[in-house]
Amino acid sequence: MSTVADTTSRAFAEALDAADPLAPFRDRFVIDDPDLIYLDGNSLGRLPIATVARLQHLVRQEWGGDLVRGWDRWPGLPADVGDLIGTELIGAMPGEVIVADSTTVNFYRLATAALGARPGRTAIVTDRANFPTDRYVLQGLARARGLSIRWLDPDPVEGPRVADIAQAVDDDVALITLSHVNYRSASVADLPAITRLGHDAGALVLWDLSHSVASVPVGVQEHGVDLAVGCTYKYLNGGPGSPAFLYVRRELQEELRNPIQGWFGQRDFLAMGPEYDPQPGIAAWQVGTPSVPGLVAVEEGARLCAAAGIDAIRAKAVALTELAIGLHDAWLRPPGFSLGSPRESARRGAHIALRHPDGRALSGRLAERNVIVDFRAPDSIRFGLSPLTTRFVDVWEGLERLRVLAG
Ligand SMILES: Cc1ncc(COP(=O)(O)O)c(C=O)c1O
């Protein structure tokens, strides 16, 4: 009898679950339908059970009972939750991350501040595979300020290469901005090298960490990252529309100015003074009244990720995506699929893309079979394998049902 396990068998996936140190975390999430194969945690993460109780308490006791007195405590939440994300998940120091507004708004604010800090330089570098909202914001900024955008056209699977970026960067570039993990392919950009390259050219570098936070370690402090933004409703499980985070390296906090001078960024904001006088540090990056329900939900989600630990999360993401790629190779090439994510695990985040000309229709038919994935034009079915809530058997089931559909 062969001792080599059949790596395409359900039993193999079950054995991986049995050995998974993060398996117990799934029990800390609401799972109403145990038969639903949910492979879309990179769009909207599942609901932590602790968040239900926390929101009930916030709404019933704090809002219902404390009323406006809640504001004695709530103003500390954006910085506290920011520190939790910053120190536990992206490698920042305390006082470098704040939770506020949306990723789009934060991206706009940081890009604007970066351009303002490099007067006289007229170019922005980004890539055409970057997330649409980032590209649209940059187009608007370039138009408003008379700047040019140097668009890179990276390989759709492998993402932007350092050498291509080096060619596009000179001393006229004010800002380089890219996604760390690409939303479609999950390719991981070489953040340390690109950040260094930007600094050597005197540019600022802004990273979108929406698909990195709580899925891959980032090491913002270690790599001297200037600026970053990211969503909290994906791997952080903060809930639909939960407020985003924003990171500014401590050394830049004096130099860069928040372009929206709202009263929550004001020193002693209840003094209602005549002139804007920003708070010191990261607190100056607040704008208006924060969403308290959103913040407490982000805090609960981030606590779970911190308890699991980013290194364990990363290890499981690699194992989940490796299983998915192995099943793709074994089953899905003949019916016309190709891998839309890097094969090298170090270059891949926590989802995989499978490309197929009928990808849109197949995603819909998977949903009819109780497998939730998403589709990203033109041809990529994304399998989001959020490590705290996805089992290896979920990967197996999802791809097995796709094999049956496509075969
Ligand atoms: C890379 C990236 N940036 C930004 C966003 C969205 O930003 P917002 O929360 O402002 O809609 C997403 C959403 O999926 C994303 O994947």
Backbone angles phi, psi at 228, to 5 degrees: -155, 155
Stretch 115-136: mean pLDDT, rounded? 97
Which pLDDT band holds residue 1 (cuts at 50, 70, 90)?
A: very low
Whole-number Å distance between alpha carbons of 301 and 163: 37
pLDDT for position 4:
62
Backbone angles phi, psi at 92, to 5 degrees: -95, 170
131 lines ligand 1 (CB under 6 A): yes
Which atom of ligand 1 lies at the shortest distance from residue 244's CA?
Answer: 9
Dist. CA 103 → ligand 1 center (Å): 6
Stretch 55-62: mean pLDDT, rounded? 98
179 lines ligand 1 (CB under 6 A): yes
Backbone angles phi, psi at 149, to 5 degrees: -110, 130
According to CATH, what is the number of the domain 73-307? 3.40.640.10
Which pLDDT band holds residue 383 (cuts at 50, 70, 90)?
A: very high
Q: Quickly name the fold that domain 10-48+309-406 has.
A: Aspartate Aminotransferase, domain 1 (3.90.1150)
Contact by Cβ (8 Å): 283, 7: no
Is 303 part of the annotated catalytic residue set?
no
Task: Write the residue with the smallest CA distance to atom 4 of ligand 1.
Answer: 103
Dist. CA 137 → ligand 1 center (Å): 12
Dist. CA 72 → ligand 1 center (Å): 32
231 lines ligand 1 (CB under 6 A): yes
Pocket perturbation via mutation, ligand 1, pick of 103, 212, 351 by most ligand atoms within 8 A of CB:
103
Calculate what percentage of the chain has a pLDDT beyond 70. 99
Is 316 part of the annotated catalytic residue set?
no
The SS3 assignment for 142 reads: helix
Give kind and range of the element (H or E) at residue 163.
helix 162-168
Task: Write the residue with the smallest CA distance to atom 14 of ligand 1.
Answer: 43
Which pLDDT band holds residue 342 (cuts at 50, 70, 90)?
A: very high
Which pLDDT band holds residue 238 (cuts at 50, 70, 90)?
A: very high
Pocket perturbation via mutation, ligand 1, pick of 42, 101, 131, 218 by most ligand atoms within 8 A of CB:
131
Query: Where along the chain do the CATH 3.90.1150.10 domains lie?
Result: 10-48+309-406
Query: Three-state SS string across 184-217, please?
Result: CCCEECCHHHHHHHHHHCCCEEEEECCCCCCCCC
Which pLDDT band holds residue 2 (cuts at 50, 70, 90)?
A: very low
Which pLDDT band holds residue 6 (cuts at 50, 70, 90)?
A: very high
CB burial string 152-164: b at 16+ within 10 A, e below: bebebbebbbeeb
Is 226 part of the annotated catalytic residue set?
no
Query: Where along the chain do the CATH 3.40.640.10 domains lie?
Result: 73-307
Q: Which of 38, 108, 183, 233 is catalytic?
A: 233
Pocket perturbation via mutation, ligand 1, pick of 101, 110, 206, 231 by most ligand atoms within 8 A of CB:
231
pLDDT at 407 over 50: yes
Q: For residues 138 and 335, which has the higher predicted lDDT (pLDDT)?
A: 138
pLDDT at 3 over 80: no
State pLDDT tens for residues 356-379: 999 999 999 999 999 999 999 999
pLDDT at 61 over 70: yes
Is 382 part of the annotated catalytic residue set?
yes
Task: Write the residue with the smallest CA distance to atom 6 of ligand 1.
Answer: 103
Q: Which residues contact 11 (CB under 8 A, 6 or more apart)?
A: 5
State pLDDT tens for residues 17-34: 999 999 999 999 999 999
106 lines ligand 1 (CB under 6 A): no
pLDDT at 208 over 90: yes
